[in-house]
Amino acid sequence: MAALTIATGTGNWFSALALGVTLLKCLLIPTYHSTDFEVHRNWLAITHSLPISQWYYEATSEWTLDYPPFFAWFEYILSHVAKYFDQEMLNVHNLNYSSSRTLLFQRFSVIFMDVLFVYAVRECCKCIDGKKVGKELTEKPKFILSVLLLWNFGLLIVDHIHFQYNGFLFGLMLLSIARLFQKRHMEGAFLFAVLLHFKHIYLYVAPAYGVYLLRSYCFTANKPDGSIRWKSFSFVRVISLGLVVFLVSALSLGPFLALNQLPQVFSRLFPFKRGLCHAYWAPNFWALYNALDKVLSVIGMVASIFYSDSEY
């Protein structure tokens, strides 16, 4: 708190918040970690030890590579740093491998990549007009937003205890949103397209992006009452947005298209053959699907029993 007070006096409260949460993340290094720690260690080994043609086929471990290609390349880049910490962590056959140096590398890689998240939060804060608020720091919207994002307790648990890279990915999304607020629509669309090829679960946000870009970018003028001027629709802008998405997708999926491996890549990204409800997670849609499936199965059993009894 003393550091925060000093920083507040000099106008550097954001830096104090960022530094404080970074120090907290460092304290969490030796804490418990889940199976996702081994998942990402295995992905480091796959991308480092095998040619790209085998990335989405390798199945020595049950934790097969099932993220889009940009994330695979991200693991590949990290692996070339990881080899200076512990070469053994990059052996595909070293299942459930762990060492103190592996732990340090994995934890610090998440902390380091959160630099993007911090930058994105700062850019989002710039989009807030805080002129008409009180003079107290705790009343400033920028300060409140920074605390809520940088010190997000759920994100700290999932990334720095459980172990994942969600801060880095959220950073991409927040930076994309900031660019949309700054009327830099093409940059926002580009960043979101890149995000989709890092983690495809963000597809659920795509409809909102599509509607927003259609309204705010593809229509170039409004009527005096704020409604859409339909004649202002720009096909050039629609094509430019489509071109951005196409180029990002081509860069991501192109090598696997050349290798005739797109079906294999998509089977990993959307593993319907192993069931819609994964044994280890249940996102909202699949949880609702599972609940509905259970209800319908019970109704079906009751109906069949009632029908059988009515025959007698």
Angle at 281 between CA 25 and CA 285, to 5 degrees: 115
Q: Dihedral through CA 272, CA 273, CA 275, CA 279, nearest 10?
A: -100
Among 91-105, 248-262, 288-302, the minimum mean pLDDT is found in: 288-302
- Rounded to whole angstroms, how far apart are CA atoms 70 and 251? 9
pTM across the whole model: 0.83
For residue 174, the Cα-to-chain-centroid distance in whole angstroms is 10
Amino acid at 303: A
The answer to whether 237 and 231 are in contact (CB under 8 A) is: no
CA dihedral 34, 36, 40, 45 (to 10 degrees): 70
Mean pLDDT throughout 227-241? 89
**Mean pLDDT, all residues of the chain:** 88
Q: Take residue 66 and report the two structure tokens written for it.
A: 């099932």
- Quick one: pLDDT band at residue 311, thresholds 50, 70, 90? low
Tokens for 34?
Answer: 């889940």
| Cβ contacts of 305 within 8 Å, gap of 6 or more | none
- Going by C-beta distance under 8 Å and a sequence separation of 6 or more, which residues neighbour residue 241? 185, 186, 189, 213, 217, 218
Q: What is the mean pLDDT of residues 208-237?
A: 87
Q: How confident is the model at residue 291 (pLDDT cuts 50, 70, 90)?
A: confident
Phi/psi class of residue 275: alpha, beta or left (left: φ > 0; alpha: ψ in -120 to 50)?
left
pLDDT at 280: 46
Q: What is residue 219's three-state secondary structure?
A: strand
Note the pLDDT tens digit of each residue in 203-216.
Answer: 989 999 999 999 99
DSSP state for residue 228 in the 8-state scheme: B
CA angle 112, 116, 121 (to 5 degrees): 125
